[in-house]
């Protein structure tokens, strides 16, 4: 017989009611089998619901223990995450990293846009100096690894700026042609218009710099964590 909707909701929301009903089924089954004048066959049939209820109690206890352990583990992870992110130093550091990434990317984007419009020019030296000043402003908050990953780009910008000066004074010839090809290739790699052929060239691509700054902010990890929290919250809602 189908249970009323109200009873179903109470049954699902109150685990203790599950144990009570199963215990009653087992008790009624065993009492009936031991007190009623039944043959051995019917007595065995009468005890079957009781045995099934006992196994159900054991299974339910196992499930509840697993759910409890999972909840405790999840709570521990959430507490560790809250402790690490809510501390004052962690908040300040993250804010500084965000400010650095925004300043660095704006300076780089504006400078590359100017170089893209004008071609290789001595202004590349000024752009490299501007990027260095941004790094110097936030140097206390940057790891040596982050600084090392940004230096190839700034070094390439200086070569482009110096090469642009030399192009103006170099006479036509094979040496000047090689210089022009080198600095135009470097600028093209930065803009993503020329494929990098070596690992060193890959380091000067603006997309590589962007990826390094995303790693600094932990964008991938934060996105993954957000998805995990949402999935966990949805499971809790649907399991009720």
Residue ranges of alpha helices (H) inside the chain are: 5-13, 15-35, 40-86, 88-118, 123-137, 144-169, 174-191, 199-202, 206-217, 219-239
Q: Would you state the pLDDT for residue 7?
A: 39
Task: State the sign of the Cα–Cα–Cα–Cα dihedral 102, 103, 108, 109.
Answer: positive
Query: pTM for this one?
Result: 0.57
CB 134 within 8 A of CB 100: yes
Q: Which residues of 105-121 are buried (b: 16+ CB within 10 A; e: fewer)?
A: eeebeebbeebeeeebb
How is residue 170 annotated by DSSP? Answer: S
Q: Can you give the pLDDT at residue 45?
A: 66
- pLDDT computed for residue 11 by the predictor: 42
Angle at CA of residue 62, ends 58 and 63, nearest 5°: 120
Q: Tens-digit pLDDT profile for the chain (240 aa)? A: 344 444 343 444 556 666 676 677 667 666 766 666 666 655 566 667 766 766 676 677 777 777 777 767 766 666 666 655 556 677 788 889 999 999 999 999 999 898 888 888 888 999 999 999 999 999 999 888 889 889 999 999 999 888 888 877 777 766 778 887 888 888 888 888 888 888 888 888 888 888 888 888 888 877 887 787 778 878 777 766
């Amino acid at each position: 017989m189908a249970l009323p909707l109200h009873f179903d909701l109470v049954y699902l929301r109150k685990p203790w009611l599950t144990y009570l009903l199963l215990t009653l089924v087992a008790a009624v089954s065993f009492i009936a089998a031991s007190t009623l004048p039944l043959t051995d066959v019917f007595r065995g049939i009468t005890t079957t619901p009781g045995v099934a209820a006992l196994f159900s109690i054991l299974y339910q206890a196992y499930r509840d223990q697993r759910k409890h352990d999972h909840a405790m583990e999840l709570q521990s992870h959430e507490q560790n995450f809250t402790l690490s992110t809510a501390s004052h130093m962690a908040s300040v550091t993250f804010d500084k990293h965000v400010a650095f990434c925004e300043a660095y990317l704006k300076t780089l984007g504006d400078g590359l846009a100017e170089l893209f419009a004008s071609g290789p020019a001595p202004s590349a030296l000024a752009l490299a100096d501007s990027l260095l000043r941004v790094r110097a402003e936030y140097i206390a908050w940057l790891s040596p690894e982050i600084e090392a990953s940004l230096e190839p780009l700034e070094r390439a910008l200086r070569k482009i700026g110096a090469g642009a000066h030399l192009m103006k004074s170099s006479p036509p010839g094979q040496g000047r042609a090689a210089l022009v090809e080198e600095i135009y290739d470097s600028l093209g790699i930065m803009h993503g218009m020329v494929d990098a052929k070596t690992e060193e060239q890959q380091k000067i691509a603006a997309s590589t710099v962007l990826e390094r700054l995303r790693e600094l902010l932990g964008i991938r990890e934060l996105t993954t964590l957000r998805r995990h929290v949402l999935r966990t919250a949805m499971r809790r809602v649907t399991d009720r």
